[in-house]
Amino acid sequence: MTVLLPHHDGSPLYVSNDAPRLGDIVTVRLRVPSGYGPIADVRTRSNPDHEPEWTTAARIGTADGWDWWEARITVRNPRHGYRFALEHVDGRLEWLNQSGIHKLETLDAEDFALVANPAPPAWLNEAVMYQVFPDRFARSALADGRPTPDWALPAAWTDPVDPVMPARATQFYGGDLDGLTEKLDHLVELGVNLLYLTPVFPAASNHRYDASSFDAVDPMLGGDEAYIRLVEAAHARGIRVIGDLTSNHSGDRHEWFRAAYGHPGAPEEDFYYFTDEDNTEYECWLGARSLPKFNWASEELRARFITDADSIVARWLRPPFNADGWRIDVANMTGRLGDIDLNAEVRQLLRETILRIDPEAILLGESTNDAASDLQGDGWHGAMTYPSFTRPLWGWLSEPNGEPYLNAQGEEETAPWFFGIPVGGIPRYTARDFVDAVTRFTAGIPWRVRQANMQPLDTHDTGRFATNAAPGTVPVAVGLSMTLPGVPVVFAGDEFGLTGVDGEASRTPIPWGTETVPEVAERLSLYRDLVRLRREHPVLGTGGLRWAHVDDAAVVFVRESADESLLVLATREGVDAALPAGALPGAAAAQALFGDATLAVASDGSVDIVAEGPAFAVWSLPGVVAPSAPTLSALDGVDRGR
């Protein structure tokens, strides 16, 4: 039987203002199961300027079997962390923070956190992102008239992807932006409303992360005019468009690098880390000499790239291009080299420029591992990151097929690719492990930032989840991506059922014309239904998250708001879960929205959920009822424990 525990998160049910300014007073609420403890007193403990500060909470009433407590917190730092201290009648003390309930004192890094920096635009909460790798999405008739670039190995659209170097980086299918524009109605039918393009700048590779210029769109993609046509057509359909920018490095053909390479004293010399007197040796990304690393100590680089009125960052957000934001490649390494760490300065400059040019634009950073230190709300709105969702999901829902494949060096591999981790292949996780990993890697990230994190099953840098998915688990995986907090991401081709063992094999040309093939039509229908679920229920974008039941086979959670709650079941092996009275207020009025599972409510309000696995199911419940707040003027004072 599930045990009910006290709960708080950063959603509007519990936090009165998620975008405070310094000095603002924010009301926070705690929800405690009636009879828990019993509780004698509740306080909040903050740590402004690294000095503890306490406020006393008042019990404001009971609703649906839960006692509600409320306190006021004065926001004193840009990231203002806080936790709850629960004093039991018998003298025991418990702490509640983002990692859960604890009897031992907890880490400041895992506190709930209010962020006193401008919030992301509200539209991001409603976004379902669709990622396109331009060379492989669609090819217009105009592409036939363009010459093949000097670096490219041409391929027909139906040719298999060659995973071995040099073809790995140079195989060229010739997809272009006009081809993408012609297929925008596919995105509309799918229901996505945010298009993310990997780089569109001229380069010497199919991935274009080695830009030779940031000032123009690659002519192979149709040039600037094709980009303008794409954005205008997307906007006309209610789809926003963000670009991909490499702040860590340029390509070795970039005009800035060519001006400095072999030319000591050139104005662009300080843009990079040259290590010899002749400017012919230099720092680069992970040893790749085609990707020289930027030196962000250069004020001129900062001006040209970010801060000037006509900077790269600003140029593409303004007319006639009108992009809606940026995803920043290798954001985690940007400005970092040995004992140098300018990352915070760079991300804050990026944020300031975007706010100045277009406050409705978004800024997402790539940080593929533990991203908590960089995700405190001072720069990136959110991140493309894998350990807080993608990797644990693979570990839980995969069943490696053992099929051999070739790596970049042409060597045969049998252990399945797993995010570059060189040993062990895909780990074997339980549902409980999945929840533990999600909790661990989100505990240090403010709720508001967590909501803006990208939540992909896979991307252009990974294998496709479906390659090693256990039978029947694709709906479970897609469903979780659409219902857990964060921005759902569909990598183009997933909705066609494409597979790919690693980040190159996943970059497969879209098989247009196969939409009516039964297995493809079924997968397309799945994606349309789950995207629609996400889009039609705002609680999935802004509501709280409460785990209702977790065991080795299944997870049950509730996304909650005052207007509506959604109950979500995800299981690989099946579930027969008994939830106590009070766990799911309003369950008797539940309406099934998706999936095949049974929900039964007893007369005392306890709930049984039964399903054969794999299964993913969603029910709509009434919104959470909370007592009205009394006046807290008597509790406005602060106790510093002295």
d(CA 469, CA 25): 47
Which two three-digit tokens encode residue 489?
A: 């991401």
Residue of 158, 195, 189 lying closest to 513 (CA atoms) = 158
The DSSP bridge partners found for residue 129 are 194, 489
Q: Confidence class of residue 499 from pLDDT cuts 50, 70 and 90? A: very high
d(CA 142, CA 362): 32
Buried b (16+ CB within 10 A) or exposed e, 294-308: bbbebeebbebbbbe
Q: Is the pLDDT of residue 642 over 50?
A: no
pLDDT in tens, 598-615: 999 999 999 999 999 899
Taking CA atoms, 229 is separated from 225, 240, 282, 322, 506, in Å, by 6, 13, 39, 11, 27
Residue of 328, 409, 377, 300 lying closest to 115 (CA atoms) = 377
Q: Is the pLDDT of residue 641 over 50?
A: no
User: What was the pLDDT predicted at 126?
Assistant: 97
pLDDT in tens, 397-420: 999 988 899 999 999 999 999 999
Q: Is the pLDDT of residue 496 over 80?
A: yes
Asked if 480 and 514 touch (Cβ cutoff 8 Å), the reply is: no
User: What was the pLDDT predicted at 632?
Assistant: 46
- Which residue in the block uniquely carries the two structure tokens 């956190």? 113
Residue of 635, 628, 577, 642 lying closest to 44 (CA atoms) = 635
Q: Is the pLDDT of residue 271 over 70?
A: yes
Q: Confidence class of residue 619 from pLDDT cuts 50, 70 and 90? A: very high
User: What was the pLDDT predicted at 189?
Assistant: 98
Contacts of 288 (CB under 8 A, 6+ apart): none
Superfamily for the 545-622 domain: Golgi alpha-mannosidase II (2.60.40.1180)
What does the pLDDT average to over 100-128? 97
Taking CA atoms, 354 is separated from 179, 303, 333, 357, in Å, by 29, 14, 20, 5
Percentage of the chain surpassing pLDDT 90? 96
User: What was the pLDDT predicted at 12?
Assistant: 97
pLDDT in tens, 6-29: 999 999 999 999 999 999 999 999
Amino acid present at 455: Q
pLDDT in tens, 23-78: 999 999 999 999 998 999 999 999 999 999 999 999 999 999 999 999 999 999 99
Q: Is the pLDDT of residue 633 over 90?
A: no
d(CA 304, CA 250): 13
Amino acid present at 439: T
Taking CA atoms, 219 is separated from 178, 197, 216, 232, 290, in Å, by 12, 16, 8, 19, 21
Which two three-digit tokens encode residue 641?
A: 């424990």
DSSP 64: T
Kindly report whether the peptide bond that precedes residue 614 is cis, defined as omega within 30 degrees of 0.
Answer: yes
Asked if 175 and 186 touch (Cβ cutoff 8 Å), the reply is: no
Residue of 366, 353, 355 lying closest to 306 (CA atoms) = 353
Residue of 329, 211, 305, 245 lying closest to 314 (CA atoms) = 305
Q: Is the pLDDT of residue 634 over 60?
A: no
Contacts of 543 (CB under 8 A, 6+ apart): 11, 13, 559, 560, 561, 564, 565, 566
**Which listed residue (329, 461, 502, 560) is catalytic?**
329
What does the pLDDT average to over 279-284? 98
Q: Is the pLDDT of residue 631 over 80?
A: no
DSSP sequence for 209-220: -S-S-SSS--GG
Does residue 215 carry a catalytic annotation? no
Does residue 269 carry a catalytic annotation? no
CATH 2.60.40.1180 spans which residues of the chain? 545-622
Percentage of the chain surpassing pLDDT 70? 98
In whole numbers, what is the pLDDT of the chain averaged over residues?
Answer: 96
User: What was the pLDDT predicted at 3?
Assistant: 87
SS3 (DSSP) at 464:
coil
**Which listed residue (366, 374, 495, 560) is catalytic?**
366
Other C-beta atoms closer than 10 Å to the C-beta of 615 total: 23
d(CA 123, CA 539): 14
135-139, 177-181, 632-636: least confident range:
632-636
User: What was the pLDDT predicted at 559?
Assistant: 98
Q: Is the pLDDT of residue 370 over 60?
A: yes
Contacts of 588 (CB under 8 A, 6+ apart): 601, 605
Q: Is the pLDDT of residue 177 over 90?
A: yes
User: What was the pLDDT predicted at 630?
Assistant: 63
Number of helices and strands (H, E) in the chain?
14, 31
Asked if 464 and 491 touch (Cβ cutoff 8 Å), the reply is: yes
Q: Confidence class of residue 311 from pLDDT cuts 50, 70 and 90? A: very high
Residue of 124, 13, 4 lying closest to 559 (CA atoms) = 13
